[in-house]
Amino acid sequence: MALRTLLTGHGLVESPRWRGDRLYFSDWSAGEVIAVDLAGRSETIARVTSLPLCTAFLPDGRMLLVSSSDGLLLRRERDGALVRYAELGGRPGWNDIVVDGRGNAYVNSIGFDMMAGAPYEPGFVALVTPDGTVRQVADGLAFPNGMAVTADNSTLVVAESYGHCLAAFDIDAGGGLSGRRVWAHLGDGTPDGICLDAAGAVWYADVPGKRCVRVAEGGQVLQAVELDRGGFACTLGGPDGTTLFVVAAEWSDGPEPVPAGTGQVLTTEVGVPAAGWP
């Protein structure tokens, strides 16, 4: 599969989201949310000092941003102003977010302060309803990372990076989660950001594996895109929903895990379009 470099020269890139006619992604190193069109024209639309800095869109088109260091969920207004949407709480490790078609936001936490060198603890998922109420709806997750919701709002899929698997939950009418199960065992795969397609498969990005992989429920590998650096997240978008966007960067165990300027936005065309959220 041929890869095209849409944008380069960034840091730790994450959270790609297609909306309208542009891709939105976060540069965690710079504390910026950036929009880029298919011609590579980009602009910074928000600045938040947060690591992580993940985003999702409400049904009305406004963006939610996880300000992890403050324990806040922010909303970007149409004029670009950032306002408080919900208080997530002071627990460490707030990470990824997905908003379903009913406006329910699911925000996960890895469960410990990795940046401060704290010992590992299992993570969890919190539900933020449209009225701003926050409650925990799942726990015991092995480093929860990317999340996606099926098009019928019935299932949440969560990447467990330390568990080398994708977990799934049933979503009830009130947004609660139940029926936890392993959706796919991934062998040595380490899933980070994920997205769903119309055939019910999941694409997951893999940092140590330097790849982006499409798997069916149960774990059968359907396709793989090999990268020359770590794949941090992926999403489907473009005019027909068949452009796979991958945000990737070099990763090392040194003092600078993501060397400056190595973050890229890559694209390739696939056969099955996007479905669900993000």
Q: What is the pLDDT of residues 145-165, one digit of tens each?
A: 999 999 999 999 999 999 999
Cβ 42 vs Cβ 81: under 8 Å: no
Strands of 165-270, DSSP E:
165-171, 177-185, 191-196, 202-206, 211-215, 221-226, 230-237, 243-249, 263-269
Q: What is the pLDDT of residues 66-124, one digit of tens each?
A: 999 899 999 999 999 999 999 999 887 999 999 999 999 999 999 987 767 778 899 99
Question: What pLDDT does residue 254 have?
Answer: 65
Q: What is the pLDDT of residues 168-188, one digit of tens each?
A: 999 999 999 999 999 999 999
pLDDT > 70 fraction of the chain, expressed in percent and rounded: 99
Tell me if residue 230 falls in helix, strand or coil. Answer: strand
* Band (51; pLDDT cuts 50, 70, 90): confident
Residues with Cβ < 8 Å from 190, sequence gap 6 or more?
161, 164, 206, 207, 208, 209
Site of tokens 């068949």: 242
Question: What pLDDT does residue 90 have?
Answer: 82
Question: What pLDDT does residue 11 have?
Answer: 95
Q: Is the pTM of this model over 0.95?
A: yes
Residues with Cβ < 8 Å from 254, sequence gap 6 or more?
none
* Band (255; pLDDT cuts 50, 70, 90): low
* Band (57; pLDDT cuts 50, 70, 90): very high
Q: Mean pLDDT across the chain, nearest whole number? A: 96
